[in-house]
Amino acid sequence: MRAQIEVIPCKICGDKSSGIHYGVITCEGCKGFFRRSQQNNANYSCSRQRNCLIDRTNRNRCQHCRLQKCLELGMSRDAVKFGRMSKKQRDSLYAEVQKHQQNQDQILTRDSKDTVSRSYSTSPSSGLSDLEELSGLSDGLLFDFPLTPEGCSSYYSLELPISTEPSPDPTHGTTLEELPVHYSLGLIEEQRLLDLNITEIEHVTQNIIRSHLGTCQFTSEELSNMIWNVHSQEEVCSLQSKPCEMMWQLCSIHISNAIQYVVEFAKRLDGFMELCQNDQIVLLKAGCLEVLLIRMTRAFNPSNNTVLFEGKFGGIQMFRSLGCDDLLYAIFDLGRTLCRLRLSDEEIALFTAAVLMSPDRPWLTESKKVQKLQDRIFLALQKEIQKRHCSEDLLTKMISKLPLMKTICNLHADKLEFFRLLHPDTAQIFPPLYKEVFCSDPQFTDFRET
């Protein structure tokens, strides 16, 4: 698929394309130009008649006309912010790629001397701004998976056993701006809390904290001792030089190991194992990555924007060969913002439990039962925050991070889906638990035995 896309020239300037960027097949230069124009809220003007020719040789002469051409051909402003592609747009691009490939095959058949280069190389830039943009990027950054206005609410849903209750339309999910009803600071109706006394709340709190501390890969003390053990430049370069497929496989192994701890954490929570098996699977598949993102806070150093990987701390540049720039920036941004909240281990434990026990997941069969479990957890979290005499808005700030986590989860799903198209052989040998949680194949592991 990558090779097929690259033989289609950039839709904006006609230069060699490097992938699908913000909804349109473009070169790296036009990709960078469009992103800068949106991030800087640029307001360009044209000194001519606003009909300048935009091609490879003069694309930098008129920024106004270049931007207008980007927008006219479908590059999405929202994609720069959210990084998501609608299914309709993706199918259209796939069809275009296939049609172009068929035309190329016909040409090759008629003339065996014609050859089409399939190797990836960074497109030459004709302007200083493009060169500056390319200087810090990897050749593997091919796909941005944009979010179009008409497709921003099209979330791909899990394929799960048929529920006894009607399931939502899988092509329409919660938008990024929305939060579940109970994720607000009138979170829990007072009448549902009257039966919970202090002893019961304390029992819920202690159960969750014990479950969390018993299923962390490293203690807080161990992490504090490791925090200044940083990857050397040689080690970073070694990671950057790994082929995209190899780096994906390496990350999938690390994530799979972390998933095992999340599964064990869930199994230790009071009430989780009493849920039906379908609901256990739904909650784990839908909430596992969100739990991992919150737990990442413990292994993130905001002072230098590094995270623990392969036993040492390193920056975002370590993962450059993954080809997931937008996803990585979102993850590191979340890590920084969560670290600013200075959450204790107890608060992290209760927050992850509340996120995991979300009654709004599609295909739950006993959502009211899950709701009751989550209400107890949120109450325990509120009480824990009060112990530290924190401002009441701490919980509001924690909840405000949920849309970004949802964005990251959907971005990860998109990147994984496209990777499986490009590298099916590598995706096939991903760890079974990683595939079980994140791949859409309707085959389920019994998490009781994991």
pLDDT, tens digit (0-9, with 9 covering 90-100), for 287-340: 999 999 999 999 999 999 999 999 999 999 999 999 998 899 999 999 999 999
CA gap 70, 73 in Å, rounded: 5
* Ranges 36-50, 56-70, 148-162, 199-213: which has the least confidence: 148-162
Domain count, the chain: 2
Cβ pair 287, 355 in contact under 8 A: yes
Cβ pair 215, 265 in contact under 8 A: yes
Residues 262 and 403 in one domain: yes
Residues 204 and 67 in one domain: no
Q: How confident is the model at residue 109 (pLDDT cuts 50, 70, 90)?
A: low
CA gap 241, 132 in Å, rounded: 21
**CATH number of the domain that 396 lies in?**
1.10.565.10
Cβ pair 315, 306 in contact under 8 A: yes
Residue 276 in domain: yes
Residues 144 and 195 in one domain: no
CA 281 to chain centroid, in Å, comes to 20
User: For residues 184 and 85, which has the higher predicted lDDT (pLDDT)?
Assistant: 85
Q: How confident is the model at residue 184 (pLDDT cuts 50, 70, 90)?
A: very low
CA gap 32, 26 in Å, rounded: 10
Residues 310 and 213 in one domain: yes
* Ranges 88-92, 128-132, 227-231, 418-422: which has the least confidence: 128-132
H-helix segments, 296-387: 325-340, 345-356, 367-387
Domain span holding position 357: 190-438
Residues 146 and 203 in one domain: no
What pLDDT sits at residue 249? 94
Per residue in 199-235, pLDDT (tens digit) is 888 999 999 999 999 999 888 889 988 988 999 999 9
| Average pLDDT across the chain, whole number | 75
The yes-or-no verdict on residue 257 having pLDDT over 80 is yes
